[in-house]
Amino acid sequence: MRIFPKRAFANFLADSGILSVVSFIRGHHRDSLRVLCYHEINQEDVDAFEAQLLYYKSNYRLITLEQLLDILVNGKKDYGRCLAVTFDDGHKVNMSTAVPLLKKHAIPACFFLNTKPLSASDREHRDFSVKAHQREHEFVDADEIRALRDSGFEIGSHTHSHPAMPGIGIEEAEEELRRSKEILEGIIGDKVKFFAFPYGGKSSISRSVLKVVGKYYDAAFSTFRGFNTADSDLYCLYRDVMQPLWPLSTVRYYIEGGKDGRTKKKMASMRD
């Protein structure tokens, strides 16, 4: 796992209160909206991940993506310091690690899932995983998706086959958006309103895909870091990739905006 390289500096910024002062000047001490993006939580991550959840619970209002959309679309005021928790890829291990902790602490979450593994043979499942995630993982099945939904979690799409979308034609990209939505809606018997771009950074989102994602979804999430506001692009909302083993000082550094400075530059270099 890649450890945050400037941890000492991050700890200093978080612990010294400098970030809190910057946050105060920007008004984020009152109202702020950030979305967190986790992937798999392995058994050895559970204690550190629970400490992060407890930190969020004591310092933030934890909301669903539906509530986040309501704040953004309806211009809600005085919504407080909010965080929404999301998980990408549908790693099966989360059913026995993250999910029990989320339930224990009554924390809402959205799971962004790929639909290709649902109908794949073991061999195809493995090939998909190695191609999309560089190594073999197991993913949730349809029964587990229904169980997540029945427990009150939100289900979102992460495409059918996890491509970097600028690398495929716009027609194929639309098919990834449409097909995954249709399959997930068939499983949960309800609308799938949210989408998360695979990888989610500047080389995996293109302006042409941003133009069509709204045909299928009410909101879409990148992995550009930042505070979401009423001015944010609903189809390219900011999200922070988090690591479960990060200490709380690193977590604070990110969610108080310590790494937001490069976002504009990264977004400007997005492909057409």
Angstrom CA distances, 61 to 39, 58, 127, 232, stand at 22, 8, 40, 20
Nearer to Zn ion, 88 or 240 (CB): 88
Q: Answer whether 234's CB lies under 8 Å from 212's CB.
A: no
The Cα 185–Cα 29 span in angstroms is 38
Which C-beta is closer to Zn ion: that of 157 or that of 228?
A: 157
Pick between residue 89 and residue 176 the one whose CB is nearest to Zn ion. 89
The kind and range of the H/E element at 62 are strand 61-62
Is residue 86 helix, strand or coil? strand
Q: Measured from the CB of residue 87, what is the shortest distance to Zn ion in angstroms?
A: 10
Candidate ranges 69-77, 81-89, 149-157, 204-212; the one touching Zn ion (CB under 5 A): 81-89
Among 40, 45, 50, 88, binds Zn ion (CB under 5 A): 88
Footprint on residues 196-225 left by Zn ion (CB under 5 A): 198
Task: Using CB under 5 A, count the residues that bind Zn ion.
Answer: 3
Least distance between Zn ion and beta carbon 89 (Å): 4
Residue 35 main-chain phi, psi, to 5 deg: -120, 130
144 forms part of the interface with Zn ion (CB under 5 A): no
> What H or E segment, with its residue span, contains residue 32?
strand 32-38
To Zn ion, the closest distance from the beta carbon of 8 in angstroms equals: 30
Q: Tell me how far apart the alpha carbons of residues 192 and 154 are, in angstroms, rounded to a whole number.
A: 8
CB-closest chain residue to Zn ion: 88
b/e string for 223-232 if b means 16 or more Cβ within 10 A? bbbbbbeeee
Residue 105 CB, shortest distance to Zn ion, in Å, is 25
Nearer to Zn ion, 28 or 91 (CB): 91
Facing residues of 167 across strands?
A: none
**Between 17 and 167, CB nearer to Zn ion:** 167
Tell me if 89 contacts Zn ion by CB under 5 A.
yes
Rounded to whole angstroms, the Cα distance separating 48 from 111 reads: 20
CB of 7 to Zn ion, least distance (A): 25
Does residue 40 contact residue 49 with C-beta atoms inside 8 Å? no
Q: Is 50 in the site for Zn ion (CB under 5 A)?
A: no
From residue 224 to residue 263, the character string flagging contacts with Zn ion as x (rule: CB under 5 A) and all else as - is ----------------------------------------
Letters for 162-201 (x = contact with Zn ion by CB under 5 A, - = none) are: ------------------------------------x---
Length of the chain counted residue by residue:
272
φ/ψ bin of 16: left (φ > 0), alpha (ψ from -120 to 50), beta (otherwise): alpha
Chain residues binding Zn ion by CB under 5 A are 88-89, 198
